[in-house]
Structure 1
Amino acid sequence: MKKELFIVGAGSVGGHIAHNIVGYSDEYKVAGFFDDDLQKVGKTQFGIEVLGTVKDLLKLKNANVLIGIAFPKLKRKIIELLSVNQTLKFPTLIHPKAWISKGVSIGKGCIIYPGTTINYGSEINDFVCINMNCSLGHHTFVGRYSSFAPGVNTGGHSIVEEGTDIGIGASTLQGTCIGSNSIVGGQAMVISDVKAESTVVGIPAKLLNKSK
């Protein structure tokens, strides 16, 4: 019998999982969404009912919950809210068409989309979302809550600190560090370290402003 999986966020990431849960895992079935958009509550999204707001999850015990949201700041806020219910479980979903080398560690609550490759020695921390066709070089470190849009490439020994949001097709030169809570624009090429809470864009990536 499959376990029930509840998804936080009835948007694009949640919709992807709802449509493709069978492709990700034969262990779970999507039992419902939780979303703070009151116009969605009580209705169906992607053929699945929105059962309540995020706070309503606090009433459940031993539930399997997936954070179907890409935005790092919002993910952090939701996890902080849900942390008072210590019975909740946060499984990681890895699509079988992703390639994960031996010697890679992946935390709880992550989503790894199809077509992604993660090379040896890499460390993916909790609640990271890595979208389609990303390539992570050996010994890449990805901090909690970070999100990669499709087609992101990291060179070996890259460091992506907590809460970083990397746009479509962006790349990092090997050994570079992107500081926490930063934003990297789509198609940007990061060739030097990025300070925390910065927004960088372009080729090579240059500072646009502080991301706060």
Structure 2
Amino acid sequence: MKNLIIIGAGGLAREIYDLAKICSQNETLFKIKGFLSKDDTGIEAMGYPKILSTVIDYSVEENDCFFCAIGDVIVRKRVVETIISKGGEFINLIHPTAIVSPSVKLGIGIGIKSHCVISSDVEIDSFSFLQSSVIMGHDVKIGKFCQINSFAFFAGYVKINNNATINAGAKLLQNVVVEEQAIVGMGSVVISKVKAGTTVFGNPAKRINF
């Protein structure tokens, strides 16, 4: 029996707790041990397991496994690398209502929430997270440490590079490329390449400056 530790203790961590409970009933043999966080979020008072430690201070124990529940992709990368350096192992959590083609290739530490549809020959690299009702056409490629939010649609051959964030309701046309650390705004329609480190928004999506 594995002991699952969720990294983070905010709203996404509570969502991952619920996802893990569903997954453990249907597919995976683990129990939820608790959370890692540097902040006291009051999560235990809400009826969830306790915060065990911070990421920095936690010592990985036998039978531990991990899932990172941090939405900020840059912070996610940093804390995941810290746990890996301590010998920690990560698992995938895939909701039983998700439809994942047998030809899909998945890395590790991936989360796929309810009612996602992942089509033929899609590749999702490690530590990326799909919120509910994401749809991916054939041959889509998702890099490492990406955040894909609810109702996003990816036409065939879309490529999302590492550390990108695709916000809710975004639609990406066939063959579009989103480069590293780019952000696609909520509800945007992307018809051309999104350059590294930029944020785009609108229909059609255009670069915006803050």
Q: Specify the TM-score bucket, using the shorter chain as the normaliser.
A: over 0.9
* 4+ residue runs over 3 A deviation: 40-46, 58-62
- Give the AA of the match of 1:194: V
Q: Are the equivalent residues in 2 in contact too, given 1:142–1:159 (CA < 8 A)?
A: yes
- Structural mapping, 1:1-212, within 5 Å: 2-26=1-25, 27-37=29-39, 39-40=40-41, 43-44=44-45, 46-86=47-87, 88-209=88-209
Q: Are the equivalent residues in 2 in contact too, given 1:117–1:133 (CA < 8 A)?
A: yes
SS at match of 1:192: coil
Question: 1:130-166: per-residue Cα shift (whole Å, max 9, x none)?
Answer: 0000001110000000011111100100000000011
Question: 1:29-61: per-residue Cα shift (whole Å, max 9, x none)?
Answer: 211000121x34895454210111111334434
Q: Are the equivalent residues in 2 in contact too, given 1:35–1:41 (CA < 8 A)?
A: no
SS at match of 2:17: helix
- TM-score by length of structure 1 reads 0.92
CA distance in 1, matches of 2:116, 2:96: 10
Matched residues, percent identical?
29
Superposed displacement of residue 62, structure 1: 4.7
- TM-score by length of structure 2 reads 0.92
Superposed displacement of residue 103, structure 1: 0.8
Question: 1:51-76: per-residue Cα shift (whole Å, max 9, x none)?
Answer: 11111334434520110112211111
Decide whether aligned partners of structure 1 residues 42 and 179 sit closer, same or farther in structure 2, where only a CA change above 3 A counts: closer
CA distance in 1, matches of 2:151, 2:169: 4
> Gaps spanning 5+ residues in structure 1: where?
none
- Give the AA of the match of 2:24: S
Decide whether aligned partners of structure 1 residues 42 and 163 sit closer, same or farther in structure 2, where only a CA change above 3 A counts: closer
CA distance in 1, matches of 2:145, 2:37: 18
Q: How many residue pairs were aligned?
A: 207
